[in-house]
């Protein structure tokens, strides 16, 4: 059944005030340490070797049975340090003055961040100017490419520069929002020659907040050089494992505390490079079983259960001072049944009750969970009325802009609520323009060594021996994609391993099924290893050149596998791996 296009007609289970009272203790309630983590566990240094010395016998069971007592995952750190985000009164005053002088049409534009099709950046710039838009998103089909298929860095920089200039038309003095989805792993709109990054689950396997911070800075510095001001990352969702069809290895950990600390660390690195982060997807997308790109997931957990798991990383982000938090398209009956959280007053009240002062941004409004239920731009004023400040990728930006103007004129969206949203967005951008660090001039690919170090620290052996060569100087490879096998072959040559004979290595990519052979390697989420019949099982969490070099170094016995499972995989408990 289609939900009403006006969430105000759907009476929430709890009023915003009542919900705030209920959740008021969230910010000051001590967070118990999950049974699977240890406050006393050391935090590995990101500057150490990719193959630290290992204690113990160096042997793991070679059958599918789990170790008798899995090593608990290393705690990524006790508490989080502030991100450095914090607009001052002068930023807020400047934003308030700017908003007071805006027309209704200008205000409607400042809360919209649209997408567009193809490479006609000039046409998009004209739309940004005409509708007074906050900026623009860059998707995969907007990325200019050279003849060899690589990103045309010069043309991409020119495009972001033109869009940024358009967002400052009409006398606006603050930088525009030039956004992209660049998490690493499967979610990466910009490829080579920019640095390729493994899946975010790598940070959970590596167990180091400083390394996550270094990675966030390296990734964002290259984006900043190309003219991007915001990256919709990191993903702070807590995955429940293979029943989670959307997040998977985009999640840093199944441990809420680890997911929070690591995502805050990654955000800290992004902000240090001058790129705004957006922690996503509140109220938590890792524990629902429907993909919101296709339909509306329903989160059946109680508020108490959400506070104990899914909301903990977002509470960490709030405590650290995150500039943006993204609201996902997830219905939570305990808050407001049948309404996506991105359009639910009760959900935004829950987020604000945590103490969040930044910009609440919706997930893309053209996704299936919203687009079919809120036609003709109606999702835009509904989301604003619910408490959103920035509306990401409406299906039709012209219709969304018109719907906002009409809703205010008709009294269906209060002018005060729109003004509040615009002030938050403009305050954020004024702060970013004032505090942006000196241009780092990070060349595309300059963070390759950091990416490789992440994979070297993350690679995890679930079954098989932990020390010494896993192959006798030669091997065969199957599975994966043609590029996967090509990268594997190049890394094998570098490691001195011949191809064409010997043990069979099976590469399992995204959505792969359990496989046999002698050595099974999961390149994305590690779930397929649970049912693999291979006597040796390795979780790699990535398919970058650095990830394959890390894998071949372990197979050749030139490095150990220091990673620990950040989520349970069948019989292998969270924290499993070589000692």
User: Active-site residue numbers?
Assistant: 293, 363
The answer to whether the peptide bond before residue 234 is cis (omega within 30 degrees of 0) is: yes
CA atoms of 418 and 387, how far apart (whole Å): 9
Cα 309 to Cα 72, 258, 571: the distances in Å are: 18, 11, 22
- Backbone φ and ψ for 375, nearest 5 degrees, come out as -80, 165
94, 100, 106, 109 alpha-carbon torsion, rounded to 10°: 60
CA pair distance 285, 20, nearest whole angstrom: 22
For the CA atoms of 43, 45, 49, 50, the dihedral, rounded to the nearest 10 degrees, stands at 60
- Which residues, in sequence order, are bridge partners of residue 180? 138, 231
Residues in Cβ contact with 116 at an 8 Å cutoff, skipping those fewer than 6 apart? 123, 124, 127, 136, 142
Q: Are strands 135-138 and 177-180 parallel, antiparallel or unpaired?
A: parallel
- Give dist(CA 18, CA 440) in Å, integer: 47
Instruction: State which H helix or E strand residue 158 sits in.
Output: helix 153-167
Any residues with CB less than 8 A from the CB of 32 and at least 6 apart, and which? none
* Ramachandran angles phi, psi of 481, nearest 5°: -100, 170
Helix (H, G, I), strand (E, B) or coil at 521: strand
Report d(CA 377, CA 395) in Å as an integer.
Answer: 7
- Beta 331-332 vs 336-340: how paired, if at all? antiparallel
- The DSSP code for 569 is B
Q: Report the relative pairing of strands 460-463 and 536-539 from DSSP bridges.
A: antiparallel
Tokens encoding 2 = 């289609």
φ/ψ of 234, rounded to 5, equals -90, 170
Per-position DSSP letters for 94-153, written without gaps between them: HHHHHHHT--HHHHHHHTEE----TT-HHHHHHHHHHHT-SEEEE-GGGS-B-TTSSB-H
């Amino acid at each position: 059944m289609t939900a009403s296009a006006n969430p105000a007609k759907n009476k929430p289970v709890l009023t915003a005030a009542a919900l705030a009272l209920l959740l008021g203790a969230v910010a000051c309630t001590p967070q118990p340490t999950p049974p699977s983590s240890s406050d006393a566990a050391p935090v590995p240094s990101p500057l150490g070797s990719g193959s630290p010395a290992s204690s113990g016998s160096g042997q793991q069971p070679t059958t599918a049975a789990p170790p008798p007592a899995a090593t608990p995952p290393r705690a990524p750190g006790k508490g989080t340090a502030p991100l450095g985000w914090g607009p001052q009164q002068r930023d807020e005053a400047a934003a308030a003055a700017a908003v007071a002088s805006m027309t209704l049409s200008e205000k409607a534009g400042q809360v919209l961040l649209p997408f567009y099709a193809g490479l006609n950046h000039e046409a998009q710039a004209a739309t940004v100017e005409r509708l007074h838009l906050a900026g623009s998103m860059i998707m995969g089909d907007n990325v200019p490419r050279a003849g060899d298929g690589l990103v045309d860095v010069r043309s991409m920089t020119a495009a972001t520069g033109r869009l940024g200039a358009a967002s400052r038309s009409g006398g606006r003095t603050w930088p525009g929002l030039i956004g992209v989805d660049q998490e690493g792993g499967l979610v990466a709109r910009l490829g080579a020659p920019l640095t390729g990054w493994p899946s975010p689950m790598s940070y959970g396997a590596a167990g180091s907040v400083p390394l996550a911070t270094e990675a966030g800075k390296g990734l964002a510095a290259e984006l900043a050089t190309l003219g991007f001001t915001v990256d919709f990352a990191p993903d702070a969702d807590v995955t429940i494992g293979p029943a989670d069809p959307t997040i998977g290895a985009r999640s840093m950990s199944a441990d809420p505390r680890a997911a929070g600390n690591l995502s805050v660390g990654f955000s800290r690195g992004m902000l240090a490079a001058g790129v705004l982060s957006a922690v996503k997807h509140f109220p938590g997308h890792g524990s629902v079983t429907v993909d919101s790109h296709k339909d509306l997931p329903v989160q059946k957990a109680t508020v108490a259960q959400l506070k104990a798991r899914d909301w903990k990383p977002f509470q960490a982000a709030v405590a650290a001072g995150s500039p943006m938090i993204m609201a996902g398209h997830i219905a939570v009956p305990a808050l407001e049944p049948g309404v996506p959280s991105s359009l639910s007053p009760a959900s935004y009240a829950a987020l604000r009750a945590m103490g969040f002062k930044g910009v609440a941004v919706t997930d893309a409004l053209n996704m299936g969970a919203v687009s079919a239920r809120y036609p003709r731009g109606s999702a835009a004023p509904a989301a604003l009325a619910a408490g959103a400040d920035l509306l990401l990728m409406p299906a039709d930006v012209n219709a969304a802009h018109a719907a906002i103007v009409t809703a205010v004129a008709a009294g269906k969206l209060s002018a005060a609520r729109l003004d509040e949203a615009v002030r938050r967005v403009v305050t954020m951008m004024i702060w970013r323009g004032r505090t942006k660090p000196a241009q780092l001039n990070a060349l595309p690919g300059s963070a390759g060594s950091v990416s490789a170090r992440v994979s070297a620290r993350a690679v995890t052996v679930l079954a098989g021996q932990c020390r010494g060569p896993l192959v006798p100087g030669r091997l065969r490879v199957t599975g994966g994609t043609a590029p996967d096998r090509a990268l594997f072959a190049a890394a094998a040559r570098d490691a001195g391993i011949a191809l064409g004979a010997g043990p069979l290595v099976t590469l399992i990519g995204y959505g792969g099924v359990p496989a046999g052979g002698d050595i099974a390697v999961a390149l994305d989420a590690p779930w397929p290893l649970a049912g693999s019949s291979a006597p040796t099982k390795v979780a790699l969490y990535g398919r970058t050149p650095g990830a394959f070099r890390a894998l071949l170094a372990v197979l050749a016995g030139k490095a150990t596998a220091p990673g620990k499972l950040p989520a349970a995989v069948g019989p292998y408990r969270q924290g499993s791996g070589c000692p």
